[in-house]
Amino acid sequence: MGRAWVGTAVLIAAGVVWGVPCALPAARASPEPSLARPPVSKVERAPCPASAPSCGLKVAQAPAGDTPANIVSDQIRRQGFACNAPRQAERDRKASRPNLTVWVLRCGNATYRVTLIPDMAARVERLK
């Protein structure tokens, strides 16, 4: 910890002597930079009391396209299955186990039972 303070002191001294403002460490990061563009997703201010240290931080919501139906349909499309217009994905809780999640995916052209296994290809079974 002592070395960190010595390093910081050297940076500050160099900045003062040579007039380099970037040598000064930032005291605190700004929660909203003035030149940054807002993210694509919906962003709202987090409600918090005035005494909370995290006031002013922003909370972002996931983009609208990240629904279970879209996520599972993207996975089976990558494996070569057709899924036109994913409509609904229901989790089959009876068939699911730890690290093995089963979904029934309804697309415009077919219905699939999709078994998602971490770090492996999904098992896909066409129902209709």
Domain ranges of the chain: 68-126
User: Which uninterrupted H or E stretch holds 113?
Assistant: strand 111-116
Q: pLDDT for 84-119, tens place per residue?
A: 999 999 999 999 999 999 999 999 999 999 999 999
Give the pLDDT score at 66: 86
The whole-number pLDDT of residue 33 equals 46
Q: Could you state, in chain order, the average pLDDT of each consecutive group of 10 residues for the chain (128 residues)?
A: 57 56 48 48 56 57 77 94 94 94 95 95 92
Residue 54's pLDDT is what? 56
